């Protein structure tokens, strides 16, 4: 690969943690710029190179096609048709970046990894300065804020982006200084603990558990993650309607206060949202309500208690949102994507530490996907694509192991 393409990928790797932390809505434009630049350079200098991420191309195209088809039965066809080209464009950009990184050799991937590591470290350092110095960057952006809590909440999206990128960044350092890699993860956890994103903290903790276990038993942990994720993906409507719901857990509002010191008010609201969503899934389980229809679901604006709305914009749970909007076909594609991804990680001829980092990233992403954002939000789709691209892309190209890993994880003979 020519130096021009490496510099584009390196710049994207360095900028992603910074943009994702401080202006996360800028991740979608960054994805487009990085992909277009790589595509132009590929056409100009390397057009004969085959497209390698074929499974990703098929799965992403299937999601876009299903989303487009859902406009036929969508509760709000206009919203569906507006979202589909944006989603398809983002997924196409992800394919371009996956393909570009698949053509890099070990030295080039190491360079990209160092850029990513530097970006993550700088982002964490700036977060420390922000917290200690009274948020000078946020006050440049906007002079007046309601209170400190609002300032902390403004970093929730950035915290979740860092909770993903810390894993590929840590693996870069692990190969040279294991202690520094562990310190990076511990530092991310400690720094983000002074902010307000519970999803980011949960993601790092669960990712760390997955990483530690997978170091010892990579194949077993990959299989366990796959089984657990598939069970949740398939059974989530029943789980949230009959098991993990507020009534079953004995949660309710008493005199304007939640009768639990353990579950936060936001967690209680999510339980209400998830139960309502599960009940709406049962009304249209086969094909769903149509892509991007969550915000228009009948009854979604009603109050489930004196303060909590039934479905504000989206379910705050990616699996439930796909169930709600795309029904069984969408869930089948999601289950297929998860199965393919984890099987390939399990069977890839990588060192255990590379597999462990990949599984930690998958576990962390699954936590955030099912706690926070609308699954089709452009910045969040871009964040997931960047995390997946760098998570796979900075693994060694294995020239020293006499194989080259393509982005569909199939080993092929290396050029000698």
The CA distance from 84 to 88, in Å, is 6
Residues of the chain with pLDDT under 70: 1-3, 396-416
The CA distance from 51 to 48, in Å, is 9
In our burial notation (b when 16+ CB lie closer than 10 A, e otherwise), range 221-244 reads bbebbbeebbeebbebbebbbeee
Residue 215, token pair as written in the block: 């170091």
User: 């991007």: which residue's tokens?
Assistant: 292
Q: How many beta carbons lie within 10 A of that of residue 97, not counting itself? A: 25
**What's the distance, Cα to Cα, between the start and end of the chain in Å?**
15
Give the phi and the psi of residue 254 in degrees, each rounded to 5: -125, 115
Question: CB burial class (10 A; 0-12, 13-18, 19+) of residue 146?
Answer: exposed
Mapped onto helix, strand or coil, the DSSP state of residue 135 is: coil
pLDDT score, position 406: 38
The CA distance from 322 to 318, in Å, is 6
Determine the angle formed by the axes of helices 265-283 and 218-238, rounding to 10 degrees. 70
User: 């594609």: which residue's tokens?
Assistant: 333
Residue 34, token pair as written in the block: 């990085």
Determine the angle formed by the axes of helices 27-45 and 378-393, rounding to 10 degrees. 50
Q: What would the pLDDT profile of 123-144 be if each residue is shown by its tens digit?
A: 999 999 999 999 999 999 888 8
Query: Distance from CA of residue 362 to its chain's centroid?
Result: 8
Q: Which residues contact 72 (CB under 8 A, 6 or more apart)?
A: none
Residue 60, token pair as written in the block: 């992403």
Residue 91, token pair as written in the block: 């997924």
Q: What would the pLDDT profile of 230-261 be if each residue is shown by its tens digit?
A: 999 999 999 999 888 888 888 888 777 887 77
Q: What would the pLDDT profile of 30-61 be if each residue is shown by its tens digit?
A: 999 999 999 998 888 777 777 777 788 899 99
DSSP letters spanning 225-280: HHHHHHHHHHHHHHIIIIISSTTTTT--EETTEES-SSS-HHHHHHHHHHHHHHHH
User: In this structure, are residues 271 and 244 in contact, taking their beta carbons and an 8 Å threshold?
Assistant: yes
Strands 403-405 and 411-413: antiparallel
């Amino acid at each position: 690969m020519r130096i021009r393409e490496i510099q584009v990928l390196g710049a994207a790797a360095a900028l992603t943690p910074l943009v994702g932390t401080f202006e996360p809505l800028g991740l979608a434009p960054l994805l487009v710029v990085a992909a277009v630049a790589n595509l132009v350079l590929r056409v100009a200098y390397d057009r004969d190179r085959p497209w390698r991420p074929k499974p990703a191309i098929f799965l992403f195209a299937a999601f876009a096609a299903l989303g487009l088809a859902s406009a036929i039965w969508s509760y709000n066809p206009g919203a569906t048709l507006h979202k589909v080209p944006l989603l398809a464009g983002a997924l196409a950009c992800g394919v371009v970046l996956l393909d570009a990184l698949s053509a890099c050799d070990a030295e080039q991937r190491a360079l990209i990894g160092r850029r990513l590591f530097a970006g993550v470290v700088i982002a964490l350092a700036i977060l420390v300065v922000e917290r200690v110095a009274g948020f000078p960057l946020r006050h440049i952006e906007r002079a007046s804020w309601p209170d400190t809590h609002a300032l902390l909440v403004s970093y929730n999206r950035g915290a979740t982006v860092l909770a993903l990128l810390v894993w590929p960044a840590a693996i870069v350092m692990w190969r040279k200084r294991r202690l520094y890699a562990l310190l990076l993860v511990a530092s991310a956890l400690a720094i983000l603990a002074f902010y307000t994103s519970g999803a980011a903290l949960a993601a790092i903790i669960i990712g760390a558990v997955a990483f530690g276990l997978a170091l010892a038993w990579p194949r077993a942990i990959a299989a366990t993650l796959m089984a657990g994720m598939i069970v949740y993906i398939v059974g989530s409507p029943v789980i949230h309607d009959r098991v993990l719901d507020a009534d079953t857990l004995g949660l309710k509002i008493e005199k304007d206060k939640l009768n639990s010191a353990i579950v936060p008010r936001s967690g209680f609201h999510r339980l209400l949202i998830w139960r309502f969503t599960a009940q709406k899934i049962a009304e249209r389980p086969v094909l769903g309500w149509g892509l991007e229809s969550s915000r228009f679901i009948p009854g979604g604006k009603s109050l489930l208690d004196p303060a909590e709305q039934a479905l504000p914009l989206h379910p705050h749970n990616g699996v439930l949102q796909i169930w709600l909007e795309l029904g069984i076909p969408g869930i089948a594609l999601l289950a297929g994507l998860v199965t393919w991804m984890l099987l390939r990680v399990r069977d890839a001829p990588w060192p255990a530490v590379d597999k462990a980092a990949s599984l930690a990233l998958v576990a962390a992403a699954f936590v955030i996907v099912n706690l926070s954002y609308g699954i089709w939000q452009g910045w969040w789709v871009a964040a997931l694509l960047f995390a997946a691209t760098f998570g796979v892309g900075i693994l060694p190209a294995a020239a020293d192991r006499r194989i080259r890993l393509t982005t569909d994880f199939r080993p092929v003979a290396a050029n000698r």
